[in-house]
Amino acid sequence: MPKRNRLALAAHLIQRLPRRLQEPLLTRLFCSQVRFAGTAGVRIQRLSDSEVRMSLANRRRARNHIGGVHAAAMALLAESASGCMVGMNLPDDKLPLIKSLQIDYLRRASGGLRAIATLQPEQRQAMLEQDKGETLVHVILLDDSGAQPVRCDMRWAWVRKRN
């Protein structure tokens, strides 16, 4: 019997609705649990067990002193995308824990940002089968020009929840 995952079930149900409702409802679902992401303005475009796509507009609340997206907001976007990717694959009886964030700032971002997080099938399988483990989630961040202003790798661990 497949292990239960409430986030994946909710995302699946939302994605059966008309397309115009999907992004706002997926975003509301995520931001109800990760309030800081909502404060910054993180939006979800795609949420599946194999790929998560999120965005962050270059708006005043997420801007730095030179008019670009703040470095901390970039890290929030990458961490949010990777955390959602883990959350979509981890059964409800396990607890996700961020262990490390490796973020290399390569260049100034132009405009807003898009994040793409993916997992390999063997990573997803390990989350289902192992009571305790960890995995590295690579997140691609692209700015409005299509360039990659930062390189991001997030190490996530999981453990079985205590009853």
Which pLDDT does position 66 carry in this prediction?
Answer: 80
Give the fold, CATH level 3, of 6-160.
Thiol Ester Dehydrase; Chain A (3.10.129)
128 half-sphere exposure, CB direction, 13 A CA radius = 14
Q: What is the mean pLDDT of residues 127-145?
A: 96
Average pLDDT over the chain, rounded to an integer:
92
**CB 146: neighbour CB atoms within 10 A?**
8
10-14, 60-64, 78-82, 135-139: range with lowest mean pLDDT = 60-64
Q: Which residue has the tokens 């490390």?
A: 100
The share of the chain scoring above pLDDT 90, in percent, equals 68
Q: What is the pLDDT of residues 82-133, one digit of tens each?
A: 999 999 999 999 999 999 999 999 998 889 999 999 999 999 999 999 999 9
| C-beta separation of 36 from 76 below 8 A | yes
pTM of the predicted model as reported, rounded to 2 decimal places: 0.90
First to last CA, the chain: 21
Q: Sheet containing 51-56: which strands, arranged edge to edge?
A: 42-47, 51-56, 113-118, 133-143, 150-160, 94-105
List the one residue out of 48, 44, 41 whose CA is nearest residue 27.
Answer: 44
The alpha carbon torsion through 48, 40, 137, 3 (nearest 10 deg) reads -40
Which residues pair with residue 53 across a beta bridge?
Answer: 46, 116
When pLDDT is cut at 50, 70 and 90, the band that residue 45 belongs to is very high
Dist. CA 42–CA 45, nearest whole Å: 10
